[in-house]
Structure 1
C-alpha cells in the first residue's frame, strides 16, 4: 500500500501524522468516553437508552470520530484498485457489527485499531529518529573566501581549491584540508564517536564535522556531491530501498493472505447456510455466523506483520548508525546475521596504516637522501599509507620533493613515474619481478614492509617501514570468537613474514601474505565453493574492492577508506574500528531473532483466534486483541533492538 500524500508504507499512520497528534488524541478520547458512557448506560438499563434508535445514534457518535479517517483511506484504496487492505477489513467488520446490533463491539474494534495505529506510528518515528537526524545534518550554506571577502553561497557553488570558513559550532559543508595550525572537531555525525578529534594543518577535514573551539579555514578538495557527508546520506537514503528477504516475503504474503481470509469469511457465512438446506438437523442463524465471520475478518488484518517486520529492520539500521555502522539496506542486515567466516585485509583494517620509515638501504653510489627523495617524489600523489609514511619522513628530514609526470599506479604493486626524464619504479618485490628488474635475493629475508626503488630498470635500494595494530584489533578478534565465528583469516599484499607476525599477535591461525588483488579474489572464490561458508570480507583500499564485491557481505572501513571500497561495500564502519564488526554482526542477529519472534507471535495468536472465531468461541473483543494487541506487542518487541545494541 502507498499513500498519495506521502511515501510512508503504512498509509493510516502517515495521514495521522499530517493531521497532528492533538487532533488524533481528541478523536480517540471523544470516542472512548462515548463508548464507556454507552456501556454504562446499557449496563444500568437506563430506560431511554433501551430504545434501539437512541443507542444506535449514541454509538454512531462514538464510532465516527475514529472511523472517518479509516473509511476515507478505505475509499481511496478502492479508487486505486486496492480492494483488500486493513482499512477495507475494518470497514466491513465494524459495519457488520452494527448491522447485527453489536454496537459497542463495532466501536471498540475501530477505536482500538486507531489507538494501535497511533502507537505504531510513534514507534516508527522513534526508530527513524537516528536516520532523520543524520539526514538533517547537511549544511545549507558555505562561507567561501573570494577576493579577501567572506561570501555565503550554496555548498554546490564552491569549487575545488577554494577556501571556506567555518565558525566555532558550525558544521563543515565540504571535504578539505585544514589551513589552521590545528583545531578540534566533533565527528559524531560521521563516526558515532563522542570525543572530539584534534586535526592538524593539511590533515583532512570531512563534511559533517563540527568545529568545536574556533573559526577555521578549510581548503576544499572535493565537490559537494562527492563529499563524505553526501556519500553517507546517499547510502542511508538508499538503505530503505533494499529490503530484507523477510520484508519482501511478508509483503507478498500480505497481498495473498488478505483476499484469502476475506473469501474464507464469506464461506463461514455461506457454507453453514448451504448445509442447512440439506436437512432439518442443522439450525442456521444468520446473525451468529455473520458475527463469526466478522471476528474472522478483524483477526485476519495483517498489521502486526506488515508494520513490525520492516520496523525491526529499520530499527536495526538506526541502532547501528548510532554506533557508526552504516548498513546499505535491510537485506545486508539480514545477510550479516548468517556470517560464519570473517576475512580481513591487514593494512588500514587491523593495523593503523600509519607507516614510519625504519631503515634506508641504498645501493653503492646512491645516497640515502637521494633514495628517499626519489621514492617520496614518485609517491607524492598517492593516497596509500606507505606513500604517506615516505612523504612524512621526507618532510621531517627537510628533503625536497621533485616534480613528476606520467604517473601510473599498479594495484597491489606500486607506482611508476617519470622524474628528471628518468623512469622511476617504487613498490614491493612483486613490482620488480613484474618489470624483470634484478634485485638482491637477500630482500626476501628482510623483516618489515619493503619499499624497493628502481631507476631506468636498475635496482637502487630499498626502505623498510613498520605499522602497528589498531588499539581495538585484539578486542575485535576476541569478540568475533565469542560470537562463535571460528574461521578468521588475514589476506594481505604484505610479506608473509610480516602477516604471520601480526596474525600471531592476534591469535589468528590462517594468514596469507604476498597476495595481489586477483589472488585475494581467488581466495574468496575458493572459500565460496563450500556452500556452508558465509563470508564477510573487511577492507579499506581500492585493491580490496573486488574482494568486497565478491564476498557475501563486504565491510569497508569508511573513515579513511578509499571511495572504491566504500562504494562497493555493503556495510561501512565509519569509525574505522574493527571491533565494530562484531557489533554489526550482533545487530544483524538480534534483528533477525526479533523478526522471527514477531512472525511466530503474530501468526500463532492469529491462527488460534481465527479457529476459535470460526467455531463461535471468540468474540470481537478477542479479535481486537489478536489484531491490535498483537500488533502493539510486535512493535514493542521490534523497538527492543534500540536498547539491545550498545
Structure 2
C-alpha cells in the first residue's frame, strides 16, 4: 500500500487503464488483468465467408477522379451515337452488312471487353452464373439477331452504372480516406544534438521529437513543452481545438496549432492510436452485415434461376404458342436477362453500409464492421461503466471545510503531507489551486495502513485520511461527516479536528443528455455498473437519469450482471466501458463500445465500436446512424425488387424493349446509389 490517505471511505480509480475498479481497501484490488478477449459471438462476420463468389466483386473501375477512367465509356458512346445516326438520320449505302457489324463491334469493345474477361475468369473458377455472364450473354444474343445498337447499349449503360457506383463507393469512403490522409510520413527526432527528419516507424520509445506549428504529430507522446492547442478532428470528429498541457498525452494525427513543441515518444508508430484506428477502419469492410451476406447468397441462387427462366422463355413457347417466332421470343428472353441483372442489389447494399461507417467516422465513431451497424440498430439495453464513461475519471477537490483555521493555510498544510503520496486522491489534493502557493515541507511522514498518513508540517503533527484515522487517535469530529456520500479526506492538527476536503469525479457535461437521447432512440433500459461504493453510484445515476445502478462491484460481478441480463432473449445489450477490466464484459455483450480517447488498449481491441471523443452522447449518435443505415439498406432492397419485378413481367409479355430494360436497370441502380448516399448528408447530433 502506498503512503497515502489510503482507505478513505471510498477510493478513486487509478487513471487510464484501471478505471472503475473496486478499491475499498487498496490492498486487494479485484483487477481483471485485461484479458484481450475477442467476441465469442459472430454476428455472421463476413471475414469467415471469404466472399468466395463473383457477387462480391468490388466494382472498382479505376479512380473516379481520373478522366482516363471515363474514356472507354465515352468512346463507346460516341461510336454508338454515330452508328445510330448512320442507321436513322444519315443513311448511307456503305453502312450495311459487315461494315455495320464491325462498327458496332468496335463500339462495344471499350466497355464490353472487361466484362468478357471477367466472364472468362469466372468460367475458369467454375463461376458460370454471374452478372458478367448475364451481360455478355445478353450482348451475344442481341448481336445474333442483328440488334447491334441494343447489344452495345446494354454494355454501355451497364458500364456507366458501374462508374456511378464506383464514384459513390469512393465518396462513401471519403471520411475513411480522409482519415488515411492524416498519416504523418516524417518525424523530426532529436539525435546527436540536432533534429533529424526520419520515418516515424524508425523512432524509438523515449526519444524526443519536435512538432512545428501546423504539423501533425507523427507518434503518440508526452508533452515536454509548456503546452499547445491541437486540432483533433481527424481522430475524434471534434472541431473544437483541444489544449494539451505539459505532461499530458498528444496522439499521432493531432495537428499542432500554436508554437513549436517537443514530445517524448511513448509508443512505437505501429502501436500508436492513429495506427490502431487506421487498422480498425481499413478492416471494417471485411465484416459483412447479415443483410449484406443474405443478399450475396441470394444473388448466387437468383442469377442461375434467372438464366434458366430466360432459356425457358425461348424454348417453352415453341410447344405452347401457335405462331412461334424464335427471334421474337429470344428478344424477350434477352430483355428478361438484362433487367434481371442483380448488380443494383449487390452494390447498393454494401454501399449503404459504407455510407454508415463513413458517416460514423465523421462523427468520431468507429464501427469495426457493417455487422455491428446491424446489431447497434437493434440495441434496447445499454449497460455502462461509470468512471471514464459517464464521469471524467479525473478526481478534483470539490469543497474545503475548516474549523478555526484559514482555508489557504489548511490546504498548504494538507498539500505538504499529500505530496509524499502517489495515490489518486493525493494527486487530486496536490493539484488544488490556492491563492498563496508557497510550499511547506512535510517530514517524518508515515503511512498508517488502511487509515491514512501521519507527518510533521511546520512543527505541527498532522493526520490526513479517513474517519477511522481520527477514531484510532481518539480525536473527536463532527458526526455529520459520516453521512457525506463523496470521498473525503479529514485532517487533524496537533490532536484536534481541523477540517476536511470533499473529492469527487466530475460527471461528463453531456452525460444527462446522453441518457435521455438513448431513451429517445429505442433504448428501454439504461444500467450503470461501478466499482465505486453504492451511495456514490446511486447519486450519479439519479442525477443523470440512469434507470438502474449497481455499485461495489468487482470486475467479475460486472460480467455476472451482463450474463444475467442476456438470459432474457428479448434484450440486445450494448456495454460501454474504457478500462482494462471492462474487456471481458465488452466481449460478452452483443455489441461492445469502448471510449477510445482515454480507454485502455484491451478495451479498444475487444470492442466492436470505438467512440473517439469519449462523449457518452455519441452512443445515441451511433444508434441513430445504425438505424438510418438499416432503413436505407431495406429501402434499396424494396426498390430494386419492386421495379425489377414489374419490368421482368413486362419484358416476358413483350411489352418492354431492351432499351427500356437497360434504362430501368441503370435507373434502379442510380436511385439505389442516390438513396444510399443520403446518409452522408444527414446530421445526427
Q: Which residue of 2 aligns with 1:243?
A: 288
Ranges in structure 1 where 5+ consecutive residues have no aligned partner: 1-6, 362-366, 403-413, 417-425, 430-440, 454-460
Give the Cα–Cα distance (whole angstroms) in 2 for the partners of residues 269 and 371 of structure 1.
95
Return the match for 1:469 from 497, 504, 507: 507
Taking a change above 3 Å as real, the CA distance of residues 240 and 23 of structure 1, as seen in their structure-2 partners, is: same
Taking a change above 3 Å as real, the CA distance of residues 56 and 351 of structure 1, as seen in their structure-2 partners, is: same
3-state SS of paired residue (1:530): coil
Give the Cα–Cα distance (whole angstroms) in 1 for the partners of residues 442 and 219 of structure 2.
28
Q: 1:489–1:510: 8 Å Cα contact kept in structure 2?
A: yes
Q: Is residue 2:428 matched to residue 1:389?
A: yes
Taking a change above 3 Å as real, the CA distance of residues 162 and 12 of structure 1, as seen in their structure-2 partners, is: closer
Give the Cα–Cα distance (whole angstroms) in 2 for the partners of residues 81 and 450 of structure 1.
73
How far is 1:464 from its partner? 4.8
Q: Which residue of 2 aligns with 1:483?
A: 521
- How is 1:216-231 mapped onto 2 (pairs within 5 angstroms)? 216-231=261-276
How far is 1:311 from its partner? 1.0
Q: Which residue of 1 aligns with 2:358?
A: 318
- How is 1:109-128 mapped onto 2 (pairs within 5 angstroms)? 109-128=154-173
How far is 1:58 from its partner? 3.5
Q: Deviations over 1:581-629 (max 9, x none)?
A: 1111000000011111111111222222223322322221232134222
Q: Is residue 2:252 matched to residue 1:207?
A: yes
Q: Which residue of 2 aligns with 1:304?
A: 344
Q: Which residue of 2 aligns with 1:421?
A: none
Give the Cα–Cα distance (whole angstroms) in 2 for the partners of residues 32 and 573 of structure 1.
47
How far is 1:9 from its partner? 8.2
How far is 1:164 from its partner? 1.0
Q: Which residue of 1 aligns with 2:384?
A: 344
Give the Cα–Cα distance (whole angstroms) in 2 for the partners of residues 593 and 521 of structure 1.
33
**More divergent stretch after superposition (323-332 vs 473-482):** 473-482
Taking a change above 3 Å as real, the CA distance of residues 442 and 547 of structure 1, as seen in their structure-2 partners, is: farther
Q: 2:352–2:633: 8 Å Cα contact kept in structure 1?
A: yes
How far is 1:397 from its partner? 8.5
**TM-score after normalising by structure 2:** 0.79
Taking a change above 3 Å as real, the CA distance of residues 12 and 546 of structure 1, as seen in their structure-2 partners, is: closer
Taking a change above 3 Å as real, the CA distance of residues 495 and 270 of structure 1, as seen in their structure-2 partners, is: same
Taking a change above 3 Å as real, the CA distance of residues 539 and 300 of structure 1, as seen in their structure-2 partners, is: same
Give the Cα–Cα distance (whole angstroms) in 2 for the partners of residues 628 and 602 of structure 1.
11
3-state SS of paired residue (1:529): coil
3-state SS of paired residue (1:27): helix
Q: Which residue of 2 aligns with 1:594?
A: 632
Q: Which residue of 2 aligns with 1:187?
A: 232
Q: Which residue of 1 aligns with 2:680?
A: 642
Ranges in structure 2 where 5+ consecutive residues have no aligned partner: 1-52, 402-409, 444-449, 453-463, 468-478, 492-498
3-state SS of paired residue (1:355): strand
Q: Is residue 2:308 matched to residue 1:263?
A: yes
Taking a change above 3 Å as real, the CA distance of residues 140 and 245 of structure 1, as seen in their structure-2 partners, is: same
Q: Which residue of 2 aligns with 1:608?
A: 646
**More divergent stretch after superposition (574-583 vs 536-545):** 536-545
Taking a change above 3 Å as real, the CA distance of residues 12 and 644 of structure 1, as seen in their structure-2 partners, is: closer
- How is 1:390-539 mapped onto 2 (pairs within 5 angstroms)? 392=431, 445-449=483-487, 464-539=502-577
Q: 2:161–2:666: 8 Å Cα contact kept in structure 1?
A: yes
Taking a change above 3 Å as real, the CA distance of residues 465 and 107 of structure 1, as seen in their structure-2 partners, is: same
Give the Cα–Cα distance (whole angstroms) in 2 for the partners of residues 642 and 211 of structure 1.
28
Q: Which residue of 1 aligns with 2:603?
A: 565
Q: 1:42–1:49: 8 Å Cα contact kept in structure 2?
A: no
How far is 1:317 from its partner? 0.6
Q: 2:55–2:299: 8 Å Cα contact kept in structure 1?
A: no
Q: Deviations over 1:89-134 (max 9, x none)?
A: 1111011011112222112111111111111111111111111121
Q: Deviations over 1:284-315 (max 9, x none)?
A: 22111211221121122111111111111111
Q: Which residue of 1 aligns with 2:324?
A: 284
How far is 1:231 from its partner? 1.3
3-state SS of paired residue (2:526): strand
Give the Cα–Cα distance (whole angstroms) in 2 for the partners of residues 550 and 399 of structure 1.
50
Give the Cα–Cα distance (whole angstroms) in 1 for the partners of residues 581 and 131 of structure 2.
51
**More divergent stretch after superposition (616-625 vs 239-248):** 616-625
**TM-score after normalising by structure 1:** 0.83
Number of aligned residues: 591
Which structure's residues are more often helix, by fraction?
1
**More divergent stretch after superposition (58-67 vs 461-470):** 461-470
How far is 1:394 from its partner? 11
